Amino acid sequence: MTETALEFRNVTKSFDGVPVVKEISFRVGACSIYGLVGCNGAGKTTLLKMAAGIYKPDRGSVLADGEDVFDNAAVRGRLFFVPDDLYFPLGATVRSMARFYADYYPAFQEKTLQNILNLFGLDSKKPLRGFSKGMQRQAEIALGLSTHPKYLLLDETFDGLDPQKREFVRKLLLEYAAENDASILIASHNLPELANLCDHIGLVNGKRLTMDCDVNDVSRDYIKVRAVFGAPLSTEQLDAIHAASRKDEGVSATFVFHGNYETERPKLDALAPLAVDEFALTLEEIFLSEMEDKDYDVTKIFES
Amino acid sequence: MTSQRFSSRKPARRDFLRALGEAFPFALLVALPLIWKLPFETSLFLRSSETASVHSAFGLFVEGDVFLVTACLVAAGVLLALRLFAFCFRKNSVNVFFSAGLLRKTLYRNRVLAGLLALAAAILVPLSVDLAMNVASFGGSAYVFKTFLYLVAALFAVALSGFSIGVLVSTVSGHLIEAAAATGLITAVPQLIVSLLGLVDRFMLKGNALENVVTGTDNKLRMLCSLLSPYGFLDSLGGEDGEAALTVGRVIDKGCELSFTRSLVLPVCVWFVLGAGLLVAGAVLFRRRKVENAGSVGLFALPGNVIGTAAFLFVALLLSEYIVYSYDVTFESYDELYVFERLFYHNAAAIGLCLALAGAAVFCLVQFVVRRNVKRFLKTLPVAGCLVLFTVLAVLSGPTGHYGAYNRLPAHDAIQSVSFHNVESTGVFTTEFLPDYSGEFYAFESDADSDVQLAEDLFTLLHDAKPYDGKSERTVCGVSFRLKDGTQVARTFTICDRETQEAFARKLFDSEYMDRYLQRRFLAAAEAAGSAPPESGSDNYNEQELRDYLNIFYTAGDWYLLGGDGLFNGCRVSDGVAGTLTVDPDKVTVVDDKRGLFEALCADYSAISYDEVYTPADRPLAILTCEENVETAYSADRVFAPDGVAEEAAGGSGAGHGDTGTCGREKRFDLTPQMTHTLAFLKTHGYTPSPYDGKVKSAFVTTEKLSLSGACGMIDGTWQSGYDETVFDAFWKFPEGLVSAAFVYSDSLLPFNDEGRMKPDAPMTTRLDLLKTVYSDAGSPLEEITDPKAASALYARSFPFYDTYGDDGRYLYVVFDDSTLVSAYLPASAATIS
């Protein structure tokens, strides 16, 4: 990782006594795009809001270039948060919102805004509430990027965007981070998008950060192996192979190994498989394999 | 599109300007009630030719609607605060503002400053315009400018109270509706508590009930209210010493300015400190604010219940007060008190019960809707039960004075001063010397220990008297106590037994209180004698009103000494036997030294007893009366010319209460031989009463004993008293009064046209013939005594008025040889005709 720009240090946050995130620590480097993934309610937005200085962590701290973000005007002046729930006052237009953000963000650049609006094809004079959800999100991204933040925090940015605009946004963010040496922290469910955008991924699961790794490394660490045997094996035989996950399918079994495939392969070979196929995992498969509650059996739900 | 130059500005400054932009439109809410009450109404006031001469600096504002304006200011302050901190109540705006490059304290400071500036401008502008208008009209003075500054400070403090509470609530609340409701309740809570205490004090402890008026507010409660309640803040203007400040034109007077200042300084200072404290607390809480509660409610759940219950109780008490108030109005509107009195007791109980049940039902419904859970709802039933009980107690206590409040004599040590009043009488006493009662004006307050003791004795006397039965004659009289806590409790009783009525009057008249009271009346009259009466609207007009209420024998005109046949023409007025004053101008003597006359009268009335005044053994030697009475007699329409003697009658004036020359406002004195000081004074000044030398020719006596249900009398061509049902109805139905009544009774006998005036060509009749006809038609013809000796003997046993001699005697009409007709009363013991 490059030089640290944003750092979460043992951050814990509870709402009404119910913990949302526990002891989470990770770093976002300068000129880096960090993707936060996790199931619904995992605490991704809470982490983003703590990074934006909106929420104060119950314990721990969020640092930007070594300074605590919470109630720090200097840091927050260099930070922009694009939330999932956008704020557009009644009758607001891109123009009026630009004036608004210009008041609060000294680095606001009109030219940047205009360029992005041209790219998206948005009219700055039309009321934002008349825009579609995707257009509103495009406008907010444009406004956010026009403030030239050093830290850009994005929550579900790709929701509602059509494929073309997703690509625009992806390229914009990549370009912005590279050109401005900015740090981008993005929370999303869209794993393929994150895979193409982020250089780092963090998985929030069970209120904790269960995975924090480089996107390029993660594919190397995970491997899926499908083995076919001459006859069905007993559970004891299969349990002898330590895999991150396993799926039994009669005479065949599918294993996901996380960094221990080399040590477990001899055990597999000892069971005399007829065939062994190795596959690279997609980010989504890795995400699912790391989730705590997996293999829901939904086949009997609708039985009468 | 935004230009580059915007981006170079400082966020804190830009945020402040944005807050100002949001605040000023809402500041109009603050300004509107002030514009309405100050420049607008002042301009109307100044344009009025009638009032333009009155110095009115800010008087219109202070005069009325103080509570309304105060409430508007508080509400506007609250709304302004909620508007400025509205961004705290939505998740999306929280995201933007709390992640922007501003410290929380900067966000807070900018909005508070913007709000305060907007409030200041909204108050200063209308007041400055009003100041300019006042200065332009009346010229500048130190008092005007002082008043201006005090008002600015007071109004700002009022608005600040609402604003600061609104800000404080906004810093912790998560939802706009929750914040608005919580702020409204929090601002109202002190008022609710104080009102609750006040109502309990008035209704339950002091018995503000039927005929028991408790006025004023306990000093401590008033102070508490002005200190703690934003809404009750400016009520201190109408406080103990603020009475004058409420009067138009008095605000800028030096004396009033002092009380005005005194009543405002403490609450203003307290609220400035309190407001500042709330804003500081808000700053601390805003920095610690957990913005994650944005958009959610529930923060004030527990206080909300408490406040809701308090609000419910307040409404219940308010309703009971409204009932009392509305029924009091009913009483004021009708003379036939007893009819409504009966209805009232039944209705009050029924309404009270209905209100209690309705209130409990509403409470249960609201609780059920809010809780949506049967078990939780059932837990609230005991609360509803308590509310019902409390409402029933409050409602019943209010109108009926139950629980002993009505019967309770204030504690001796709590009494500051006492006064006595006599509201009305249906012909039992002539009350010209008893203190009159009108509205909140009490005749004469005394703090002497002996008078306090007298008040306690009279209270006991009246309280133990026979309850009013709604039928017979009655007297409404009472005792009022001004308590040391600033309230005044008037205990009024309707009594109908003669013994109690007479005992009340006798004790009062023979008391030291009465001596002091008469001294004040006579000496004040002496001081006023000779000076011109104040004109309506002038500075001294209020003083004149006060004198009237004090029943001062004041008149700018002359006082006359009547002797000879003037004695008979001026029979004392009463409901039973009354004579309208008719004066022959050639037979009156003008008394020049009015001051000396009043001093002499004062000395006499202080010295002689109740019996010597009201049941004198001797006929009066002379009558002193004032120009007003004489003028009244001469300006009236000519009605009769009996026996060729030119006489004038006060047509239509009647003998009802309240007219000149009637009870309570009588301006005449019968000079009996016991009034040695006055007689000596008159003798010294060369005024010697001339005895009447007419000879009794004949007499007429009513054949039945007088009874209130059947007798009627007619003197000088007008009905003096009509207890016959037909005449009674006619008497009250026609505004023309007694003449019309006579016309309705028997138009064939009287020379009147349809307007109650004399027909030009109608045959003239004598007053005596008229009397005979009326009594004959009433089924009780007069019995004539033709023997002059017998008639003279009867006359010797008669009295000029009947009230204090009983009500079972007869009327006597005596005819003298010069055709003078005199009415008199024969007590039962003296009514035997031999």
Q: What does the pLDDT look like over B168-209, one tens digit per residue?
A: 999 988 888 888 888 887 887 777 777 767 766 666 666 554
How does DSSP classify residue B787?
-
CB-nearest to A52 from B14, B99, B106 is B99
Kind and range of the H or E run holding B568: helix B566-569
Q: Among A12-16, B260-264, B293-297, which is the least confidently predicted range?
A: B260-264
How does DSSP classify residue B39?
I
pLDDT at B429: 43
d(CA B100, CA B77): 27
d(CA B217, CA B367): 34
pLDDT at B729: 30
Interface of A with B in 81-100 (CB under 8 A): 81, 83, 85-87, 95, 98-99
What ipTM score was computed for the predicted complex, to two decimals?
A: 0.86
Kind and range of the H or E run holding B284: helix B254-287
How does DSSP classify residue B238?
G
Sheet containing A4-15, strands listed edge to edge, beginning at the edge strand earlier in sequence: A18-29, A4-15, A59-64, A67-68
CB-nearest to A85 from B4, B8, B91 is B91
- Judged by CB atoms closer than 8 Å, whether chains meet at B95 and A52 is answered as yes
B282 vs B494, more confident: B282
Report H helices in B100-175: 104-138, 142-172
Confidence of residue B488 (pLDDT cuts 50, 70, 90): confident
Q: Residue B601: is its pLDDT beyond 60? A: yes
Q: Looking at the domain A218-291, which fold is it?
A: Alpha-Beta Plaits (3.30.70)
Per-residue tens of pLDDT for chain A, all 304 residues: 557 789 999 999 998 788 999 999 999 988 899 999 888 888 899 999 999 999 999 999 999 988 899 888 888 888 999 998 898 988 899 999 999 999 889 889 999 999 999 989 998 889 988 899 899 999 999 999 999 999 999 998 888 888 888 889 999 999 999 888 899 999 987 787 888 889 898 988 878 888 888 887 777 778 889 999 988 888 888 888 988 888 888 889 988 888 888 899 999 999 889 999 988 887 777 777 776 454 455 556 666 5
CA distance A292 to chain B (A): 28
Give Cβ neighbours of residue B701 (< 8 Å, ≥ 6 apart): B782, B783, B785, B794, B810, B811, B812, B813, B826, B831, B833
Residue B93: list chain A partners with CB under 8 A: 87
- Bridge-partner residues for B713, per DSSP? B721
- Judged by CB atoms closer than 8 Å, whether chains meet at A55 and B103 is answered as no
Q: Among B178-187, B491-500, B654-663, which is the least confidently predicted range?
A: B654-663
Give Cβ neighbours of residue B513 (< 8 Å, ≥ 6 apart): B418, B420, B444, B446, B448, B450, B451, B454
In chain A, what are the domain boundaries? Answer: 5-206, 218-291
Q: Residue B416: is its pLDDT beyond 80? A: yes
d(CA A205, CA A208): 5
Residue B8: list chain A partners with CB under 8 A: 106
- Mutation choice for A interface testing from B95, B289, B290 by most A CBs within 10 A: B95
Rounded to two decimals, the pTM is 0.64
CA distance A100 to chain B (A): 9
- Judged by CB atoms closer than 8 Å, whether chains meet at A73 and B292 is answered as no
pLDDT at A52: 92
- Judged by CB atoms closer than 8 Å, whether chains meet at A108 and B6 is answered as yes
Residue B7: list chain A partners with CB under 8 A: 102, 105-110
pLDDT at A183: 93
Interface of A with B in 109-168 (CB under 8 A): 109-110, 113-114, 124
Residue B10: list chain A partners with CB under 8 A: 106
Burial of residue A263 (number of CB atoms within 10 Å: 0-12, 13-18, 19+): exposed
CB-nearest to A110 from B3, B8, B9 is B3
CB-nearest to B95 from A79, A83, A124 is A83
pLDDT at B281: 94
Confidence of residue B552 (pLDDT cuts 50, 70, 90): very low
CA distance B411 to chain A (A): 56
In CATH, the number for domain A5-206 is 3.40.50.300
Confidence of residue B333 (pLDDT cuts 50, 70, 90): very low
* CA distance from start to end of chain A: 54
B478 half-sphere exposure, CB direction, 13 A CA radius: 22
B29 vs B743, more confident: B29
| B544 Cα distance to chain centroid | 17
pLDDT at A154: 93
CA distance B236 to chain A (A): 43
Report the candidate in B563, B824, B574, B801 with the shortest Cα–Cα distance to residue B699: B824
Q: Which residues of A55-94 are buried (b: 16+ CB within 10 A; e: fewer)?
A: bbbeebbbbbbeeebbbbbebbbbbbbbbbebbbeeebbb
pLDDT at B238: 45
Give Cβ neighbours of residue B357 (< 8 Å, ≥ 6 apart): B388
Q: Which one-letter amino acid corresponds to residue B154? A: A
Residue A77: list chain B partners with CB under 8 A: 11, 100-101
Token pair, residue B508, equals 């009062």
B745 vs A134, more confident: A134
Q: Are residues B430 and B614 in contact, defined by beta-carbon separation less than 8 angstroms?
A: yes
Give Cβ neighbours of residue B332 (< 8 Å, ≥ 6 apart): none
- Mutation choice for B interface testing from A103, A115, A126, A143 by most B CBs within 10 A: A103
pLDDT at B291: 84
- Bridge-partner residues for A224, per DSSP? A256, A279
Q: Residue B92: is its pLDDT beyond 50? A: yes
Distances (CA, A) of B626 to B560, B570, B605, B680, B686: 6, 12, 18, 20, 19
pLDDT at B679: 85
Q: Among A198-212, B327-341, B390-404, B810-824, which is the least confidently predicted range?
A: B327-341
A91 half-sphere exposure, CB direction, 13 A CA radius: 0
Crossing angle of helices B104-138 and B11-35, in 10° steps, is 40
Residue A85: list chain B partners with CB under 8 A: 91-92, 95
B340 vs B139, more confident: B139
The SS3 assignment for A49 reads helix
Report the candidate in B220, B255, B263, B257 with the shortest Cα–Cα distance to residue B238: B263
